[in-house]
Amino acid sequence: MAVLLDENSRVIVQGITGREGSFHTKLMLEYGTKIVAGVTPGKGGQEVYGVPVYDTVSEAVEAHPEANTSIIFVPARFAADAAYEAIDAGLKLVVVITEHIPVHESMKFINYAKQKGTTIIGPNCPGIISPGKAKVGIMPGHVFKPGSIGIVSRSGTLTYEIGYAITKEGMGQSTVIGIGGDPVIGTSFTEAMKLYEEDPETEALVLVGEIGGDMEERAAQMIKRGEFTKPVVAFIAGRTAPPGKRMGHAGAIIMAGTGTYEGKVQALQEAGVKVAKTPFEIPDLLKEVLKK
What is the tens place of the pLDDT at every residue in 85-128? 999 999 999 999 999 999 999 999 999 999 999 999 999 999 99
For range 50-78, the mean pLDDT: 98
Confidence label for 41 from pLDDT (cuts 50, 70 and 90): very high
Confidence label for 181 from pLDDT (cuts 50, 70 and 90): confident
Active-site residues, by number, are 249
Q: What is the CATH number of domain 11-121?
A: 3.40.50.720
- Would you say 41 and 55 are in contact if contact means Cβ atoms under 8 Å apart? yes
Distance of alpha carbon 193 from alpha carbon 219, whole angstroms = 8
Examine the pLDDT at 253 and tell me if it is beyond 80.
no
Q: Range(s) for CATH 3.40.50.261 in the chain?
A: 139-291
Q: What is the CATH number of domain 139-291?
A: 3.40.50.261
Distance of alpha carbon 134 from alpha carbon 141, whole angstroms = 9
For every residue of 213-260, DSSP letters joined together read: SSHHHHHHHHHHTTS--S-EEEEEE-TTPPTT---SSTT---BTTBS-
- Would you say 39 and 60 are in contact if contact means Cβ atoms under 8 Å apart? yes
Examine the pLDDT at 288 and tell me if it is beyond 80.
yes
**The amino acid at 35:** I
Q: Range(s) for CATH 3.40.50.720 in the chain?
A: 11-121
Least confident of 43-47, 176-180, 288-292: 288-292
Which of 113, 174, 135, 126 has its CA nearest to residue 153? 126
Distance of alpha carbon 103 from alpha carbon 55, whole angstroms = 27
Find the helix or strand (DSSP H, E) in which 178 lies.
strand 173-178
